[in-house]
Amino acid sequence: MTVSSSNNSLSYTSDATARTAQTETGGNDTAQSNTNTSTNSTNTNSSTSSTASTSSTDSTGFPGDTPITKEEEDNSGLSSEAFMRLFLEQLKNQDPTAPMDTQEILTQTAQLTQVEAQTQMKKAMEQMTSAMESMQKTNEKTIEAQQKLIETQEKMLETMGTLAGSIQDSSIIGGYNTIGMIGNIAETPYVALNVDKNEAIKFSLYFDEPIDPTKGQPKITILDKDNKVVREIDLAAKDENGKYIYEGKEGYVELEWDTRDNKGNYVDKGDYVIKAEYNLDSNTNQYKQTQLGRGEVESILFDAGVPYVKLGDYLTVPIIYVTSYYKKD
């Protein structure tokens, strides 16, 4: 047993001490030496019995005395904890007269450090491998999601193309259905002129009935993007002979704006809304009104299968942009 071996070593040391003492003091101490030897032997037996009893009831004590349980065993090799226990057990049971060399102790300690370093490296490599596998799975899922997104976009484009074709087809059908609208009134959202440079711009406004300059104060109003009046054109103006310039005119009336405001200054670039009021009704005190982008449908034109509405000489728009149709009064 391990404990017995340890105690025998201790007994040997005590006996060797007694022999040395006898040599130094002479024969008179022989009896005392024998007595000490006997006593040590008795103590040894008692210590052995006591230690064996203690070992059977208490597993604590010297670190090397704790057995390695199966749960602590490393199937891949000797663990660092088991290595340390064996190392301590070796130190405990070494021959006192020939202790282990210091270099050998350092060598074994270095080996233990190397084993622990290799274990840590192994764990790090396993973690790195796991992380790389996880990253690979993530990348695969990302590629799969991107592929699905591309497929979805392709389906959306296909659907939009089909829808655009349907819109064009319905526009064509609508064009054929609205051929009967020629001669009626159409309104569009094109109610403004765009001023890109300061030069005269020609346009036309549609008047539902002949202009009577004597009814109220008929005029054309030009407004900027802030709905502020920048220019007014008098529809009751007279020529050099004293005749009304616009009297009796109806339908599309061609007009011109020199892109100046009421003070004679050129206006800034931008869009300008054009409206007109004329023929004041004395009973309702209301003017007849018209605006740019409104007028009688003169014809339906087709370009690449798409129908267009012609409103006077200065405006032709796709039929899908016409907001309303109604018969002339």
Give me the pLDDT at residue 45, please: 42
Q: Which of 50-54, 93-97, 318-322 has the lowest mean pLDDT?
A: 50-54
For residue 175, give every residue at least 6 positions away whose Cβ sits within 8 Å of its Cβ, in sequence order, or none: 300, 302, 306, 307, 319
Q: Residues 257-270: what's their mean pLDDT?
A: 95
Identify the weakest region by mean pLDDT among 37-41, 80-84, 279-283: 37-41
The Cβ-side half-sphere exposure at 76, using a 13 Å CA radius, reads: 6
**Mean pLDDT over residues 212-239, rounded?**
95
Query: Residue 156 has which token pair?
Result: 């959306």
Q: What are the Cα distances from residue 131, in Å, to 117, 119, 140, 227, 285?
A: 21, 18, 14, 65, 84
pTM: 0.48
Contacts of 99 (CB under 8 A, 6+ apart): none
Report the pLDDT value the prediction gives residue 270, as an integer from 0 to 100.
94
* 205, 253 contact by CB (below 8 A): yes
Q: What pLDDT, on the 0 to 100 scale, is given for residue 51?
A: 39
Q: Which of 252, 248, 223, 251 is nearest to 235 (CA)?
A: 248
Which band of pLDDT confidence, cut at 50, 70 and 90, is reported for residue 170?
low
Look at residue 232 and tell me whether its pLDDT is greater than 50.
yes
CB half-sphere exposure, 317, CA atoms < 13 A: 19
Instruction: Tell me the C-alpha distance between 218 and 235, whole Å.
Output: 5
In this predicted structure, what is the pLDDT of residue 78? Answer: 56
**273 vs 309, which has greater pLDDT?**
273
Identify which of 93, 89, 90, 9 has the alpha carbon closest to the alpha carbon of residue 47: 9
Return the structure tokens found at 83: 């290595």
Average pLDDT, the chain: 74
The pLDDT value given to residue 5: 38
**What percent of the chain stands above pLDDT 70?**
65
CA pair distance 326, 185, nearest whole angstrom: 5
Question: What tokens were used for 314?
Answer: 């200065």
Residue 329 pLDDT: 75
Name the residue with higher pLDDT: 126 or 113.
Answer: 126
> Among 20-24, 66-70, 89-93, 97-101, whose mean pLDDT is lowest?
20-24
Q: What is the DSSP letter of 174?
A: H
pLDDT at 211 over 60: yes
pLDDT (average), residues 252-267? 95
